[in-house]
Amino acid sequence: MGLRINTNVASLAAQRQIGLSQRKTEGLMKSLASGNRFDNPGESPADHSISEHLRAQVSGLGAAKANAENAQSFIHVAEGGLNEQNNILIRLRELAVAAASDTFSDRDRELFHHEFDQLQQELDRIANTTQFGGTKLLSGENKEYEFQVGAYKGADNIIAYRSDTDTRASALDVDSISVESKYDARDAIETLDNALDKIGEARASFGAIQSRMDSAINNAGIQIENLEAAHSRMADTNFAQATSDMYKQQALQQYQISVLSEANRFPGSVIRLIG
């Protein structure tokens, strides 16, 4: 091979290899510092694309799970109102049964009726004021709810529920009953039994959708866990391997620097030819 001084090919080759090793070392250091192997831009672009898709799925499922949990809050508000209305009806029935007996005088029944009347009003007030997000839940307002509980588009990712529950005193037929006489009280018992059945039906309806939301939340949680595991296996830094590779590149750089030093001294041999 001829000797040249204008172009030191060996030095250029050594510099190129040092640059490659330096970039690999820097990428490995970034991966080790962040815990994400894709902080190194040259690290498997195809895997990076897949891992980002998985990350988007996890994020979407997290939002869907939050939607289902918020829907449960909506149900809990309605159930809280129904529970108290149920308690009121039980107390009204208790007063009606007591007033139906001649154990008590008309004066006693009049006193019973004061409480009876107040509880009727409270029953109605609860129905008219129990609301979630501005929507009344127990006053007969008819609304179709759609809860997005999946991470994708389509009917399979939506739970629909129609809310038309009406537990106002008029809807339960308890707005005109009284216990002012034993005959009124006896009629009130049957009406209150029917009202309790209607409250039970409403609670069963809300309970069914709540049970479904429980399943949707559990399913989303399982999917998130599995997708997070898949994303972790693909995107998280393998610290043992990355550390080993970093030390390998650092050792290689030291060797390459030594080679570069020798390559830079090589043109000096030409001097001996003309000396």
CA dihedral 174, 179, 184, 188 (to 10 degrees): 40
* Per-residue model confidence (pLDDT) at position 143: 85
* Per-residue model confidence (pLDDT) at position 104: 86
Residue predicted with more confidence, 56 or 38: 56
* Per-residue model confidence (pLDDT) at position 233: 73
In the chain the first and final C-alpha atoms are separated, in Å, by 21
How many whole angstroms separate alpha carbon 128 and alpha carbon 126? 5
- 246 pLDDT band (50/70/90 cuts)? low
> pLDDT by residue (tens digit) across 165-185?
999 999 999 998 999 999 999
Give the pLDDT mean for 65-75.
91
Using only C-alpha atoms, what is the Rg of the chain? 39
Q: Which residues does 109 contact at the CB level (< 8 Å), separation at least 6?
A: 99, 179, 180, 181, 182, 185
How many whole angstroms separate alpha carbon 11 and alpha carbon 268? 13
Percent of the chain at pLDDT exceeding 70: 71
Residue predicted with more confidence, 152 or 195: 195
| CA within 13 Å, CB half, 90 | 7
For 74, 125, 165, 180, 192, the CA distances from 92, given in Å and listed in that order, are: 28, 16, 21, 13, 8
For residue 224, what are its two tokens? Answer: 């998130």
Residue predicted with more confidence, 262 or 85: 85
Give the pLDDT mean for 187-211.
94
Cα torsion angle, 100, 103, 105, 107, sign: negative
* Per-residue model confidence (pLDDT) at position 141: 86
* Per-residue model confidence (pLDDT) at position 106: 83
> pLDDT by residue (tens digit) across 92-148?
999 999 999 988 888 888 889 999 999 999 999 999 999 988 888 999 888 888 999
> pLDDT by residue (tens digit) across 40-62?
656 667 777 777 788 888 899 99
* Per-residue model confidence (pLDDT) at position 118: 95
- Average pLDDT of the chain is 82
For residue 35, what are its two tokens? Answer: 């815990």
> Around Cβ 48, how many Cβ atoms within 10 Å?
17
How many whole angstroms separate alpha carbon 228 and alpha carbon 42? 23
